Amino acid sequence: MSRETVLVVGSSGNIGVSVIIGALRSNLDVLAVVRGKESEEKVLHNLTYDKSLPVDRITFTYADVLSDSGVQGVVDEVKAGKLPAFHHVYSAVGAYEPKTPIYTVDTASLRRIMTTGFEAAFFAYRATMPYLLAQGAKTSTWTLVTGGAGESGVGGATATSQGALFSLANVACHENEDTNVRFNEVYLHYRVDYDLVCDESPMSPPQMGYGKRMRASEFAGVYEKILADENVRAARVSVYGFEDLAEFKWRKKLPPRRF
């Protein structure tokens, strides 16, 4: 049987690289969306921590994920047979702009933060979900990473974009409760970095308050567990620290009674 593929949006970041590691270790191929050659090289460089990873199973494609037609263009190329078909999606676009107090944030910055922190995920969802539904693969998943900043109140305007992601996840969980696509949110309230960064500097900056950095390859285990467990559907998987890597903490995201 041919291997399934995960399309990763935000694939060159700490989380994106972690997702690629988890996918390769789960015997999936990867369709990595990056903004250009430099980001492609960033991915490959950050995978060199483990020379045994089958990086030849990653297909790179260039697109502007902040544009409302960027990921749609990728899906169109998949449909045209120019890129590999995919069965899973993971969205991990973001940029940390913690300017505070937020009454000092100018309008252009706010819009940029909301485009990167929220719209990119929405555009990815809008472009890929109809494709996954039409494909009808029973194993399909769609995963969205969100961050603890959105609940703790730190992180300025970036944290407000996290709030929008929580709601996007709620809606997507609701819309896909009975479809062939298992939608889940990964709520991360800890610091994850590329393995090479952890090797060079094992501790997070003290002002972050997280202590030891979590390696992308360690956090990858969370995605592996989501892929492997069909019960994890319309759920929030929470990671507050190393103990949650072993425990795999998840709960249904939506309340039992809804309209």
Ligand X SMILES: NC(=O)c1ccc[n+]([C@@H]2O[C@H](COP(=O)([O-])OP(=O)(O)OC[C@H]3O[C@@H](n4cnc5c(N)ncnc54)[C@H](OP(=O)(O)O)[C@@H]3O)[C@@H](O)[C@H]2O)c1
**Site of interaction with ligand X (CB under 6 A):** 10-16, 35, 39, 42, 65-66, 92-95, 116-117, 145, 147, 188, 191-192
Residue 126 or 135 with smaller CB distance to ligand X = 126
88-91 and 5-9 strand pairing: parallel
Asked if residue 114 lies in contact with residue 47, where contact means CB atoms within 8 angstroms, the answer is no
Residue 95 or 245 with smaller CB distance to ligand X = 95
CB of 230 to ligand X, least distance (A): 25
List of residues 6+ apart from 232 with CB closer than 8 A: 182, 184, 225, 226, 250
CB of 20 to ligand X, least distance (A): 11
Residue 65 or 129 with smaller CB distance to ligand X = 65
* Collapsed DSSP state (helix, strand, coil) of residue 88: strand
Residue 75 or 144 with smaller CB distance to ligand X = 144
Residue 116 or 128 with smaller CB distance to ligand X = 116
CB of 11 to ligand X, least distance (A): 6
CB of 185 to ligand X, least distance (A): 11
Measured CA distances, 200 to 12, 68, 219 (Å): 19, 37, 18
**Cα distance from N-terminal residue to C-terminal residue, the chain:** 41
Does residue 130 have a cis peptide bond before it, meaning omega lies within 30 degrees of 0? Answer: no
CB closest to ligand X, residue no: 13
Residue 145 or 234 with smaller CB distance to ligand X = 145
CB of 258 to ligand X, least distance (A): 26
CB of 80 to ligand X, least distance (A): 23
Contacts within 8 Å (CB) and 24+ apart, 45-49: 45/196, 46/17, 46/194, 46/195, 46/196, 46/216, 47/17, 47/20, 47/21, 48/196, 49/194, 49/195, 49/196, 49/199, 49/217
